[in-house]
Amino acid sequence: MKNTSLYHHYPYETDGVEGLSVAASFEGIRLFARDAGRLWQHHFQAPDSLSAFHNTADQRAWIPTPYFGGQSSPGTLGAWNAQDYPNIAPAPVGMRDWADIRAFSEHTKTNFGLRSGFNASSPDIQKQIKVTELGKTFYGLVINWLRVRHDTGDLDYKNPEQMSQLTGELATIAADLFGNAFGMDPGQMEAFIRQEFPQEALSRTVLECGYWCDPKCRYVQDAKNRHFPAEVYPDYPEQTTKECFLSPDTENLTDKGLWRSPKAKGPNLGVNGGNFPLIHLDSLFWFAMFTGWKNVMATPKEAARAKGQQGSLCTII
């Protein structure tokens, strides 16, 4: 039986009550990742890891992997570090609200965050829903952990030690989730991430997280100067900004970051009407997805099942 004394707390709560700490928050996120991966492997959807994922009343649910629904890129995430109600608690609890677990086959309609609907009973749409839901879990776990580092002042993209620590933490979170989702030992998945995922891509991912989630909001001055820092975006021509990420003319640019409105409870990740700026997280997500897929396809049973079919990721989901 799990110790439930911290059940009604969230990862971003790291002190003030016995048992709360940064370490407990990280372990709670890892527990959620492992359980969510196991559920996904057996065709069940985990509870939402961010409130933004179930804001469907006004059709503004945020979907970080929208490509199957016809969008070209994830949109801005509003109030990313405001008070949120993720279904995650610090260790030893981990996953909360188990009553929200549902089978993917229970979906009858989905809109992938769009206004147009899709028949979720279609086998192809079912597979796309599974990929999207795993993406939501991954992004939710990462954002919850970035929130912890942001609130404790340990997210300085100019601090090599902090960025090195974050590199290991993101690799661990991804390994816990995708390793369990594809029936792999998480240690094996983490080894693949560290050894086969290009180190430059992993470094870019982490620096980008530190830059946009910076507690000091140094990107505000960069927006006014129309200039990205070379250490974060070395490949942009002269590191000039793009308006879909930073626009000095946007009304929601303030000294405290990008805010949807004066009534917002926290800053955006992205300008109003723009794109989600943590674009390199996408490469880590898909690397882990296809690493898991290759591991499953390596088993004789799955290789035989896929023979004569497309042999794609959706073939085995």
Partners of residue 110 on adjacent β-strands: 118
**Whether the Cβ atoms of residue 37 and residue 177 lie closer than 8 Å to each other:** yes
Flag whether pLDDT at 247 surpasses 70.
Answer: no
Confidence band for 107, pLDDT divided at 50, 70 and 90: confident
Domain assignment present for residue 78? The answer is yes
Give me the percent of the chain exceeding a pLDDT of 70.
81
Q: Tell me what pLDDT residue 62 has.
A: 75
Mean pLDDT of 237-263: 71
Confidence band for 58, pLDDT divided at 50, 70 and 90: very low
**Whether the Cβ atoms of residue 143 and residue 55 lie closer than 8 Å to each other:** no
In the chain, how many domains are there?
1
| Residue 38 CB-density burial (10 A; 0-12 exposed, 13-18 middle, 19+ buried) | middle
Mean pLDDT of 24-50: 96
Domain assignment present for residue 261? The answer is no
What is the SS3 assignment for 6-66? CCCCCCCCCCCCCCCCHHHHHHHHHHHHHHHHHHHHCCEECCCCCHHHHCCCCCCCCCCCC
Q: Tell me what pLDDT residue 82 has.
A: 80
Flag whether pLDDT at 113 surpasses 70.
Answer: no
Q: How many Å apart are CA 87 and CA 36, to the nearest integer?
A: 11
As a residue count, the chain comes to 317
**132 φ/ψ angles, rounded to the nearest 5 degrees:** -60, -45
Mean pLDDT of 104-114: 71
Q: How many Å apart are CA 306 and CA 302, to the nearest integer?
A: 6
Mean pLDDT of 188-201: 95
Q: How many Å apart are CA 302 and CA 206, to the nearest integer?
A: 34
Flag whether pLDDT at 265 surpasses 90.
Answer: no
Flag whether pLDDT at 1 surpasses 60.
Answer: no
Domain assignment present for residue 99? The answer is yes
Flag whether pLDDT at 268 surpasses 60.
Answer: yes
Domain assignment present for residue 100? The answer is yes
Q: Tell me what pLDDT residue 293 has.
A: 92
Domain assignment present for residue 137? The answer is yes
Partners of residue 253 on adjacent β-strands: 258
With vertex at residue 110, the alpha carbon angle to CA 311 and CA 49, rounded to the nearest 5 degrees, is 85
Mean pLDDT of 138-156: 96
Q: Tell me what pLDDT residue 213 has.
A: 95
Domain assignment present for residue 77? The answer is yes
**279 φ/ψ angles, rounded to the nearest 5 degrees:** -70, -25
Q: Tell me what pLDDT residue 305 has.
A: 54
What is the SS3 assignment for 263-308? CCCCCCECCCCCECCCCCHHHHHHHHHHHHHHHHHCCHHHHHHHCC
**Mean pLDDT estimate for the chain:** 84
Closest residue by Cα to residue 26 from 239, 180, 132, 169 = 169
**135 φ/ψ angles, rounded to the nearest 5 degrees:** -65, -40
Domain assignment present for residue 94? The answer is yes
Provide the residue range defining the domain that includes 60: 1-152
Which of 15-19, 236-240, 308-312 reaches the highest mean pLDDT? 15-19
Q: Tell me what pLDDT residue 44 has.
A: 95
Q: Tell me what pLDDT residue 271 has.
A: 81
Confidence band for 206, pLDDT divided at 50, 70 and 90: very high
- Parallel, antiparallel, or unpaired for β 257-258 and 253-254? antiparallel
Give me the percent of the chain exceeding a pLDDT of 90.
50
Q: Tell me what pLDDT residue 227 has.
A: 81
pLDDT 10s digits, 211-221: 999 999 998 88
Lowest mean pLDDT among 96-105, 114-123, 140-149, 261-270: 114-123
Q: Tell me what pLDDT residue 186 has.
A: 96
Closest residue by Cα to residue 169 from 184, 147, 185, 151 = 147
Mean pLDDT of 58-71: 63
Domain assignment present for residue 273? The answer is no
